[in-house]
Chain A
Amino acid sequence: MTDTADSTTPSHKQPRLLYCRCAYAQVIPADVKDAVLAGLTESGEAFEAVPDLCEMAARRDPQLAQLAAETSPLKIAACWPRAVRGLFTQAGATLPKTGVTVHNMRTDSAEDVLAGMQTADQPTPEET
Chain B
Amino acid sequence: MIAATLPPRVVLYEGPGAEPLEPKDRRELFAQLLDRGYAVTLAGSGVASAPPTATVIVLGRFQGSAPDVAGGDGPVSVHDISGEQVEQVVEAVESARGARPMNRPEAAAANTGGDTWKPWFPVIDMDRCTNCMQCLSFCLFDVYGVSETHHLQVENPANCKVNCPACSRVCPDVAIMFPKYHAGPIDGAPVSEADVSREKMKVDISALLGGDIYAKLRERSADAKARFSRERSADQALAERRRCLKKLADAAAIPREVLDALPSPEEIQRRAEEAQARADAARAAAEAAT
A–B complex contacts, Cβ < 8 Å, 17 sampled: A1-B190, A24-B105, A24-B180, A44-B23, A49-B34, A49-B40, A54-B123, A62-B51, A63-B9, A63-B54, A65-B51, A66-B49, A66-B51, A80-B184, A83-B187, A83-B188, A89-B126
Interchain CA distance A51-B34 in the complex, whole Å? 5
Contact B124 A37 (CB under 8 A): no
- Is A59 at the interface (CB under 8 A from chain B)? yes
Chain B residue total in the interface (Cβ 8 A): 55
Contact A38 B179 (CB under 8 A): no
- Is B173 at the interface (CB under 8 A from chain A)? no
Contact B44 A46 (CB under 8 A): yes
Interface size range on A against B:
35 or more
Contacts A46-B42, A51-B38 hold; do A79 and B188 have CB atoms under 8 A apart?
A: yes
Contact code string A3-45 (vs B, CB < 8 Å = 1, else 0)? 0000000000000000001111101000000100110111011
Q: Which of B49, B123, B188 contacts A90 (CB 8 A)?
A: B123
- Is A110 at the interface (CB under 8 A from chain B)? no
Contact code string B25-59 (vs A, CB < 8 Å = 1, else 0)? 01100110011111111111000111110100000
- Is B103 at the interface (CB under 8 A from chain A)? yes
Contacts A25-B118, A27-B182 hold; do A83 and B38 have CB atoms under 8 A apart?
A: no
Contacts A42-B23, A44-B14, A62-B52 hold; do A79 and B179 have CB atoms under 8 A apart?
A: yes
Contact B39 A83 (CB under 8 A): no
Contacts A42-B23, A63-B9 hold; do A90 and B42 have CB atoms under 8 A apart?
A: no
Contact B31 A86 (CB under 8 A): no
Interchain CA distance A34-B54 in the complex, whole Å? 27
Instruction: Give the distance to chain B from A120, nearest Cβ to Cβ, in Å.
Output: 18
Instruction: Give the distance to chain A from B14, nearest Cβ to Cβ, in Å.
Output: 7
Interchain CA distance A50-B103 in the complex, whole Å? 13
Nearest chain B residue, comparing its CB with the CB of A21:
B34
Nearest chain A residue, comparing its CB with the CB of B4:
A59
